[in-house]
A and B are shown apart, each in its own frame.
Chain A
């Protein structure tokens, strides 16, 4: 189903047709119901705009964060991050790790040397 079809479903013709076909309604009733349909319509369109805006903000925020993470990764840094953002239709949580692990290896070697050195000093005699 494409987006145009989706938005076409916001059409009010069907419900207006039902209201018109019920014989026992007075003109006032019909008018009141038509106003309610129009009011619901405004509420739905307002909600739609809010949700679309929320999604766009979320996408923009996340793309900025991902851009920064990529830049850090390119600089040879190991990156681990967790982000939660609110979209128009719910929430989006992304937990990522990556980047250049080469940095970790020298760090681990240094830590290992320090530990061995400490053990040698303690147990030398």
Chain B
């Protein structure tokens, strides 16, 4: 049993052209005769004679095939290949197309509220995918429409199963994180989550303010039949084997991540208890993606001290301003223009600016006190 070119393996671009060319030049006498007979039926005496006369030169590489001739050969050869080889071509063509669509759906940055839409939208183009998306197959009668349709159904089924698995894994990761971080106030940490399957990032810094509302993604039913039933089943089985591996590996990652997160948060609490300041950054590989988190530990004692310092500075600035105004009025300094410009505008401006800056600092510190105070 051979398993090649599944979506999870991320195959390189399979060349149907090269594959069929190779099959054509390596065909046994009987198959070659069938191919050339069909060639005669489709294109007539002249092209058929040219094919027979030039076959050996093409095969040895002395003469290269023209685009037109190769196009005709490609149309004839697959009909006489074994079912396994025909399925191999079909499978690779479809998988290449799906892989291209899959990549188009990646690299998105979303908020947590857009998670369901991201997964739902991913499935849409695959649901509308049909034979017209396979230019190599379309109108060439290489495979019957039923054969193509059957395999498309199989591929869509496998892909939607993978999407379901990825969605479940992402849910598990997010639920675990929310459970662990629930005692933290929003603003104390910054976190993002990179979904492996969709290669897209979610900002989850506000996870404690969001109620999860996970949806049920479509789960297609399939019952392979037709010529390729056996190969389709093998293909699905291979996909299941990989999903099974991914799910079990995910379970291990979930377990390890849970332990590491506990340790990470425990360190946070220990540092906080000692009234130290720290920045803790960590990456955790989970079931369906990677969590990145940055936690700030701030000393409450220091925050309070800084508020006191800022308030003192404000009082001093205010006092200087009042004294300055008093001196200007008492000694009639406003009559000296140069002093008015220097003292009144420049120094006064600096004092007011510092005053404003301290007000902002106090506001920020009060916010920190609220965030870190619990």
Least CB distance from A22 to B in Å reads 5
Q: Can you name the residue of chain B whose Cβ is closest to the Cβ of A36? A: B241
Least CB distance from A88 to B in Å reads 4
- Is B178 at the interface (CB under 8 A from chain A)? no
A47 touches B271 (CB 8 A): no
Chain A 2-38 interface mask (CB, 8 Å, partner B; 1/0): 0100110110101100110010110001001100110
CA distance A3 to B261 in the complex (A): 14
B283 touches A91 (CB 8 A): yes
CA distance A79 to B253 in the complex (A): 34
Bin chain B's interface residue count: 35 or more
B233 touches A22 (CB 8 A): yes
- Is B245 at the interface (CB under 8 A from chain A)? yes
Chain A residues, CB < 8 A from B247: 9
B244 touches A55 (CB 8 A): no
Least CB distance from B94 to A in Å reads 20
CA distance A25 to B65 in the complex (A): 41
- Known A-B contacts A55-B260, A89-B257; the reply to A19 vs B237 at CB < 8 A is yes
Where chain B touches its partner, the secondary structure class is: helix
A98 touches B277 (CB 8 A): yes
CA distance A7 to B284 in the complex (A): 18
B256 touches A55 (CB 8 A): yes
Chain B residues, CB < 8 A from A24: 229-230, 233-234
A88 touches B260 (CB 8 A): yes
- Known A-B contacts A24-B229, A55-B256, A87-B260; the reply to A92 vs B280 at CB < 8 A is yes
- Is B6 at the interface (CB under 8 A from chain A)? no
- Is B124 at the interface (CB under 8 A from chain A)? no
Least CB distance from A86 to B in Å reads 10
A92 touches B274 (CB 8 A): no
Give me 5 A-to-B residue pairs in the complex whose CB atoms sit less than 8 angstroms apart, sorted by A's number: A1-B172, A1-B176, A44-B252, A87-B260, A87-B263
- Residue numbers of B with Cβ under 8 A of A are 1, 172, 175-176, 229-230, 233-234, 237, 240-241, 244-245, 247-249, 251-260, 263-264, 267, 270-271, 274-286, 290, 299
- Which 10 pairs of residues, A with B, have the shortest CB-CB distance? A98-B276, A90-B283, A9-B251, A96-B278, A48-B252, A88-B256, A93-B281, A89-B257, A15-B244, A89-B284
